[in-house]
Homo-oligomer: A and B are copies of this chain.
Amino acid sequence: MPPESRTFIEEARRAQIIDCAIEVLATQGYAHATMARIAARARVSAGVISYHFGGKQQLIEAVVEKVAGLATDLMVPRILAQPTATEGLRVYIEGNLEFMRLHREPLLALVEIITHAVSEGGGPGPYAAQAETAITDLMKLLDWGQRTGEFRDFDQRAMAIAIRGAIDAVPARLLAAHPTGDPTGDPTGGPTGGPGFDLDALAREYVTLFTLATTGRNPS
């Protein structure tokens, strides 16, 4: 069913179910995110999901779309607004980590999906392409910096993998630090050094780290 032909109430149900799916995925993990549980959280019968989405696969896809949309909305305009690639990289890193702070649950849900969703055969997961896209997008930013001479001569793909890997490692640490709870509480003992988890401080460290790595110079 194309979006424009959906009624308002239909759209609302879909949104509600997607949000519940995100909640369950983020808090209980992919393995426990069964149709029944998602439906229960939405105070809705299990069949409703099949009714609105056609199947679990399509629900998952809808979640991915929503979360990816959130991320794109946040990031793309910011990066494009920067005058230099160095600034662009800074904003890229900050934006990613800010996204984790603002949209913790959607992000965790997305991570669950990307790492756990499987295709019918034994091949790579259906969302592996997302990761590849993220790499190539980042490579464009790096290429910009190398063409302007801001960045030193490194292998773009290697650097992109490193940067994305460093960023993608954060949610798991986030989850380890706050298995079920709220990350906003008391960040003690440095950026990542206590029960709290200071994403802003982490962002500053990452910016310095990767500015050094890409330019060879400390950020001014």
Chain A positions within 8 Å of B, measured between CB atoms, are 27-29, 31-32, 115-116, 118, 122-125, 128, 131-132, 135, 154-155, 157-159, 161-170, 172-173, 175-176, 179-180, 190-193, 201-202, 205-206, 208-210, 212-213, 216, 218
Contact = CB atoms under 8 A, between A and B. Distances in A.
Contacts of A118: 29, 31-32
A122 B28 contact: yes
Contacts of A202: 155, 158, 161
B165 A123 contact: no
Nearest to A175: B124
Instruction: Name the prevailing secondary structure of the A interface residues.
Output: helix
A128 B29 contact: no
Contacts of A28: 122
A152 to B, nearest CB: 8
A213 B210 contact: yes
A161 to B, nearest CB: 5
A116 B170 CA distance: 17
B176 A170 contact: no
A14 B159 CA distance: 41
Contacts of A166: 161-163, 165-166
A122 B41 CA distance: 14
Across the A-B interface, give the 10 residue pairs with the lowest CB-CB distance, nearest first: A165-B169, A28-B122, A158-B205, A162-B166, A157-B192, A165-B166, A165-B165, A209-B213, A213-B213, A155-B191
A65 to B, nearest CB: 21
Nearest to A122: B28
B212 A124 contact: no
Contacts of A209: 154, 158-159, 162, 213
Contacts of A193: 155, 157
Nearest to A208: B154
A53 to B, nearest CB: 16
